């Protein structure tokens, strides 16, 4: 069982490293193939995806061929094929670092002292 888990971890890491090794045009082609695969799995034609996304059929053809399209059109297509929520993975919200948190909170009280009454 441990061997299988190690292989899965290795395969995922290798797949993630692979993106950094690709040129920008190669990344666009890979993304286009994936969009085509999702469309086909949904049993949609290019024309149907275009209509539901509010884009031209030429846009669908271009993106599936790995050609660049505008971000707005890409978001429309992602929404239609149910992948819009994956933008959180692509651009995660930044969390506050411990140093920033300390600056925000200011100096924390370490002790409380009461004045002595005479």
Q: What is the pLDDT of residues 53-80, one digit of tens each?
A: 999 999 999 999 999 999 999 999 999 9
* pTM exceeds 0.85: no
When pLDDT is cut at 50, 70 and 90, the band that residue 23 belongs to is very high
What Rg value do the Cα atoms of the chain yield, rounded?
24
For the chain, what's the residue count?
Answer: 118
Please say whether the structural domain 2-93 has been given the CATH code 3.90.105.10: no
Task: Write the CA distances from 96 to 21, 87, 109, integer angstroms.
Answer: 30, 20, 21
- The residues, ordered by sequence, that sit 6+ positions from 32 with a Cβ below 8 Å of its Cβ are 63, 64, 65, 66, 67
Q: What share of the chain is helix, strand, coil (3-state, %, to 5)?
A: 65, 0, 35
Residue 17 above 70 pLDDT?
A: no
């Amino acid at each position: 069982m441990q061997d299988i888990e190690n292989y899965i971890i290795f395969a995922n890491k290798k797949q993630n490293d692979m993106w950094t090794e690709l040129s920008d045009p190669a990344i666009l082609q890979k993304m286009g193939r994936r969009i085509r695969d999702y469309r086909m799995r949904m049993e949609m034609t290019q024309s149907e995806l275009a209509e539901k996304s509010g884009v031209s059929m030429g846009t669908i053809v271009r993106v599936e061929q790995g050609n660049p399209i505008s971000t707005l059109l890409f978001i429309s297509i992602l929404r239609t094929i149910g992948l819009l929520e994956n933008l959180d993975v692509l651009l995660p919200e930044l969390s506050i670092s411990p140093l920033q948190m300390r600056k925000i909170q200011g100096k924390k009280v370490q002790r409380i002292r009461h004045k002595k009454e005479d």
